Structure formats: C-alpha cells, structure tokens
Chains A and B, each alone.
Chain A
Amino acid sequence: MAVPVFSRRASVSSPVPESSLGRGRRDIESWGRYPHGAHRRVLRAWWSDQVPACLANAGPASILPGGLRRSYGDSCLNFGRDLLDCTPLDRFLFADFQRGILRCEAGVTLHEILRMVVPRGWFLPVLPGTAHVTLGGAIANDIHGKNHHRQGSIGRHLRQLMLSRSDAPELLCSPNSEIELFRATIGGLGLTGVILWAEMQLKPVSSPWLLARKSVFKSLDEFFYLTAQNDDSEEYTVAWLDGFARSDPQGVFFSASHAPAPVENHSGEASLQRHAFPVARGIPGQCLNPWTIRLFNAAYRNYQERSTRTKLIHYRSFFFPLDSLDNWNRIYGRGGLVQYQCLLPEDPGILRRLLAKISISGQVSFLMVLKRFGNLASPGILAFPRPGLTLALDFPMRGRRTLQLLDELDAIVLPCGGALYPAKDARMSRAAFQSSFPNWRRFRAAIDPKCSSSFWRRVTEW
C-alpha cells in the first residue's frame, strides 16, 4: 500500500529560497563595514542546480553573487537589489593528486582547500592574507599573494570554470572555449554570471613549513635592494612599513620559501587549527587613534627587531596571522575602515610623496604593506595586478576627512599610471576607475544583463 502522495518532487527544482544573512537584511556589510545600505533580498543557493532558475527569475541588473564578504568596499554589495549567497555551494567535485588538479564548487573556502590538499603535498598557487575567502570570490577578484613575482594572480592557475548566466544555464569557460567570458570572469567582480565551480592547477610543495627570513630596512633604497635580491630566490616576499617613519620609510622585509625536506608533523593540518579569538561587537571607534596606532607600530617594530631573523614557521602563521582573531575588523568600531590598495610605478619618489601626504594629513594607517608585483600577466580583462609596486593602507573611516585624504592620494597615484584594487575600494571616482582600467568597455560587453553591483554602478553610471 502506498501512502497518498500529494504533489511530489515539489522542491527538487524549486527556486532558490530567500534568506537574510547575519542579523537581517539591513546588516549586510562588507569587511570594511563601509558603506552601509540595505538590500532588497538575500537569496541562498544551496545546490548548483538552483542557480539557473534564480538567474532566470531575476530582473535586469538586479542580482549579484556573493561569497564570504571579505572584500572591503562595495564590490560585494548590491544595495537596493538582491544578493545570491553562494557559500552553501561547498562541495569538492574532482581531485587528481597525481597531477595536482582540484575541482570544487565556488563556495568552498581556501581554508577547506588547504585542509584537503596540504597533507597530500600540494598547495594553493596563490594565497591572500586570510584563508576565509571562497574560491568564487578569489576568482572574481583575481586575487594575488606574496608570491605574485613568481606565480602571478590566481587566474593564471585556472584550468576551467563553469559559469551560469541568465542566457545560458551552464557554460564551460576555459583558455580554449568561451575564451572571452573566461577572461572576463577572472577579476570579473561577479558581474559575468555565477561561477558554479572551478578547476585549478595546484602547486607541489616539499612541506607546509616555511623557512622565513626577515630584515629590517631603514630606507626605501634598502627596500628596493632587498626586493631585488630576494625576488629571484624566494617564493614569498612582502614588506611591512612603519606607519610613522618620516622622511624615509623604514620597515621590515619578510621573505620565505617552503622548507626543503618534509619536516616531521607533515600532516599536522588538524592539530594546527587553533581556535579563533572573537572580537566583541560594539568596540568604540576611538580605540584606534593616532596614539594607539603609534604604540602598536612601535611595539611591532621593536618585536621584529629583537626576535630571530630566520625561523621555521607553519604556513598558516605566515600567511594568515590575522585569522586567529575572528572579525578583527570590529576593532575599527561602528564607522568601519577603508583600505587603500594602489598600484604604483617602481619609483621611490612617488612612494615618498604619497607617504609625506599621509603624514601631513595627521591620519595614520594601522598597517602598511608593500610588495613588488612581478610581470606575469593575468588572463583577466579587468585584472588589477600589473608590474610595479603595490601598497596597502588601512584607515579608520572618519568621514569626509578620510575621503578627502584618499582623493589627494589618488591625485598622486593615478597620473603616473597607477590603479586601485576594486576588492578593497569603497570610494574611487568614476574617472579614476575608467582611466586606470582602460579595458572596462570591453569587459562591459561580457556582463550578464541580470547582474550588477553597488561598485559597478558607482564607477560606470552617470
């Protein structure tokens, strides 16, 4: 006997259900917690087969796929319209550990990927400063890491990806098919459609431990010397600048390569999962002021000068030092922060002018990170990394004053052929974007007519 069956299979291909992330719709923020705004709806894609229906039902220029919102500004936001949360798409689809090929859904985090591949002797070719980003988000921003001079951005390591667009439910894009869409989707800011999954080439490593070195430098010339010396021999290089150095910036230069032989505890992946320390809500923004930032920078400098020069360090401590604090962005208080990551020509004069401008303004950056990009070009049409220096600055958001300073920095950066990183941006002008991403019109042709974002409207619409 069969139990009566009423409308069977109702939900298998049902449209994507609606949800509100976090504390209701109004609260959706990016990592910088600036700008603020409200979304109309937040949908969630639990399975990849729900995505095509969701795009088909969306209105024109109404929807934006999203990951873990680790972008600082508004490129992962879509105020007044809809977001499609892709983080539940978190399944691994294929792996070949002979050849180092991994295919997984777009919502899988880099953290999960590392947990899967590191014990098998493989590594992600490109890592940002946090492991808590999704693969989809990493592709849509064509992320770069401390080994840009060796490996370029993540787009170079993609073998293929599956894109869902409102006009094509599933479209396989690779360097050989749908080439233009493939290149547009790398660094495509979520505007070319929803990435369902991607396949990449991993990098073999001898061990998850790194042999890290550091050198204190007292002038920019020394920095250039260290970069020139180390970029050939070392896999990872990056420099920290002291936020208060006056005439000539000082700082610490870090370099690292994978330790040659497997250190014991090769698969210590699980045991190294320390518990992240949560940062409380509602910390007043005044906690970070020029005074406390100065104190922090001095203490950090002091620590770096005293501690050992060469050491064996686990990759997680090297790449993701901030991941041990959950939601560290809350330290900046309600007002949030703006990050300013720019690309500059390799000219010490320009860097000095930039730092002088900041110093005069009386505003200080909590962290200043400097790195030289290599000249491996990204396949992405809108790619940000290009040969030159990249400098990243974090400012507490203090309204008009902060925005004014950043406009003044633009006036130094842009005329000399610089650019700003969209993943970190919340305020660049239309003219700034269009002049520093000259391919934007070509990119625009590849946009899915159903997709849009607050960032895109800000930098392209009149």
Chain B
Amino acid sequence: MIEFKNIQKKFGKQHVLHGIDLKFNQPGIFAILGPNGSGKTTLIKSLMGMVHPTGGQILIDGQIKQGNEYRNNIAYLPQIARFPENLSVNEFLDFIENIRGKATRKVELMTAFGVNEFADKKLRALSGGMRQKVNLVSALMYDTQTIVLDEPTIGLDPVALIALKDWIRKEQGAGKTILLTTHIMDIVEELADEIVFLLDGKVYYRGSQQELLQKTNTPSTEHAIAQLLTLKKAS
C-alpha cells in the first residue's frame, strides 16, 4: 500500500506540488494524468526517493517511508531512458543485476520486447524506441508488488506497445498495483481502473472512468480529459 499525505514540493520559488493526498491500497491500474509540468514525474520521484518533498509524508504499507530497502518492492520506469552509454545492452542489464540481484524475468521480457536482437549493441548506438525497450526490461525484470511507469509508451512501435499492454494486464491479473502516467488516452481507456488527474499541483479528480464520463457528460475519457483541461484554461 502506498499513501501520499499532503505532499508539497517546491523547486526554489516554483511550487510544483500543493498538498497531494492519494492512497493506493488495492491492486489495479491507476493512470496519473495531467498537463505537461503538472508534477506527475515529481510525485513519482518523491515515492522513489529521488526528489525530497518539502512537506508531507509518504507511507509504504502504513509505515513512513525510510531507508532504501522499500525500493526492493517497486519497479520504476524513468520517463527519460538514460544509460551508461559505453555498455552493451547485456552488460548494462548485468550491471543492474550485479547491484540488485538476479532478475527473474529478464529473459522473458527481452523476448517480449525483441531486445534479444540488439542485446550486444552498445547503448549509445540505439534508437529512441530501442532504448525505451531496454528501459522497460531493466525496470520490469524484478517481480515487485508495485510498478511505477512514467510515460512507458514513448517511442514504442505497435508490436512493442501490444507487448507492453499485455504485460501490464498480466501484472494487473497477478494483483499488482500499477501507477502509470501517459498522454495516450487509448492506453488509459483500455487499461486504467482509476484515473488521477493532477492540475496545478493538486489532485483535481480521482475516480473511475465511468464516474468521470458521467461527471463531465462526455462520450470518452479523451473528451473528458480535454474538457477538464479547457475548463481549467477558461477559469
């Protein structure tokens, strides 16, 4: 279980998160949405301990988050795929395994995303989409209760996109808690059990897709989100 309690974050004078309260205490897929710069990545990084919130608390299974061990139970896909460029894909994955321990699902994931085909290539020689596939393998290769994906679809070809959706559904079936941010509404419509909409550093909406459609009186999540955004602009 993951709980954000009144999370505040300021970068210098810029107030990015204004008291986020969110609780994820059941399995399922939670889509964290919001315009660019609304603080989705910042919120996720607070959970990962990469960003230090200026206020509030994060609870993991009811305990205030501390130390580093809790990350054993979280798989995290960074928004931007960056690697030690002079390593080959295989060497890089070995490097991660050397630090974190044997990954149980590496082979399966490499096959699913077609990473085998370029496993001996240097990371610096990979295209954006290939890098994102490596990013996915390195993030998902550990079997964790919580999975956090920051814009996982960027650069993926249709085949990889299907593989990713299948993987996420499989994990959903296995009772995992999956947080994901994306700007692709198809993914949200297809996968999300719940939607969290961030705006101006606050949780603007949280609930199921049906509720959102009823509330906004729109035919699709895409329209609903667009409406939330235009309402915001008008106000």
> Is B a genuine binding partner of A?
no
